[in-house]
């Protein structure tokens, strides 16, 4: 049995929905939004069989840090997803949001499509995409581009984003490991 603890975070108070995966009976309670109060609730959870769900917000930073320190699994949801819009939620309240978050996790209706969130530095994103277009002259980038594109003209943007992500991962690995750019040259090719 896994315990789902869904939290609708607020500036002054937060609503909790605690639900186990067998009975699926929600239990609601409200607490003041403070690290000490949250820590007391998390200390009672079974670390191996619990997951905490909450939405992106001002308090999500310290909350995720606390859960990481306590070694409790957690997921942060994107409330910009269409299922969270007002038109789809006629009875919108903090209690309903917390319950809906728990039910969506349990039923598997979470959005896993991997859409680009447009968060982060837009100039860096633009530079990575431009560098990826330039990198297409190299075989490693061309291979990624063609594999993701699958011959479709409509998938060009998706494919170039995949190249940019791969390039960013390589740059991060270079910084992390303090190594220079490594590439393999296949036998008989001129292009690296």
Domains annotated for the chain, with CATH where assigned, are 3-107 (3.30.420.40), 122-177 (no CATH)
Cα angle 53, 58, 61; round to 5: 60
- Which tens digit of pLDDT belongs to each residue from 80-128? 666 555 455 566 778 888 888 887 777 664 444 455 666 778 898 899 9
What pLDDT, on a 0 to 100 scale, did the predictor assign at position 126? 92
For residue 51, the model assigns a pLDDT of 87
Pick from 17, 14, 110: which is nearest to 4 by CA?
17
If DSSP codes are grouped into helix, strand and coil, which group holds residue 184? coil
Q: Which two tokens stand for residue 11?
A: 């500036």
Weakest-pLDDT range from 17-21, 58-62, 138-142, 184-188:
184-188
Say what the pLDDT of residue 3 is: 85
Which pair of structure tokens corresponds to residue 166?
């791969």
Q: What is the pLDDT of residue 159?
A: 92
Give pLDDT tens digits for 2-55: 888 888 888 889 999 998 877 778 899 999 988 899 889 988 888 778 888 888
Residues 6+ apart with CB under 8 A from 174: 180, 181
Q: Distance between CA 95 and CA 8 in Å, rounded?
A: 7
User: How high is the pLDDT of residue 192?
Assistant: 46
| Long-range CB pairs of 25-30, under 8 A, 24+ apart, other chains included | 26/99, 26/102, 28/95, 28/98, 28/99, 30/94
Q: What backbone phi and psi angles, to 5 degrees, belong to 29? A: -155, 155
Q: How far apart, in whole angstroms, are the C-alpha atoms of residue 59 and residue 174?
A: 32
d(CA 94, CA 115): 26
Closest CA to 50 of 120, 104, 107, 3: 3
pLDDT greater at residue 169 or residue 107: 169
Cβ contact 148:157 at 8 Å: no
């Amino acid at each position: 049995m896994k315990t789902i603890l869904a939290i609708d975070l607020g500036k002054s108070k937060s609503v909790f929905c605690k639900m186990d995966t067998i009975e699926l009976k929600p239990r609601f309670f409200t607490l003041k939004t403070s690290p000490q109060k949250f820590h007391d609730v998390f200390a009672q959870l079974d670390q191996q069989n619990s997951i905490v769900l909450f939405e992106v917000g001002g308090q999500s930073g310290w909350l995720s840090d606390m859960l990481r320190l306590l070694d409790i699994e957690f997921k942060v949801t994107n409330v910009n997803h269409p299922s969270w819009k007002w038109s789809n939620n006629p009875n919108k309240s903090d209690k309903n949001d917390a319950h809906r978050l728990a039910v969506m996790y349990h039923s598997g209706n979470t959005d896993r499509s991997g859409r680009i969130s447009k968060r982060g530095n837009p100039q860096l994103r633009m530079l990575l995409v431009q560098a990826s277009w330039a990198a297409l002259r190299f075989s490693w980038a061309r291979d990624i581009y063609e594999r993701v594109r699958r011959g479709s003209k409509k998938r060009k943007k998706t494919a170039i984003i995949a190249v940019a992500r791969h390039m960013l991962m390589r740059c991060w690995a270079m910084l992390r490991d303090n190594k220079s750019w490594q590439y393999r040259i296949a036998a008989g090719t001129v292009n690296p």
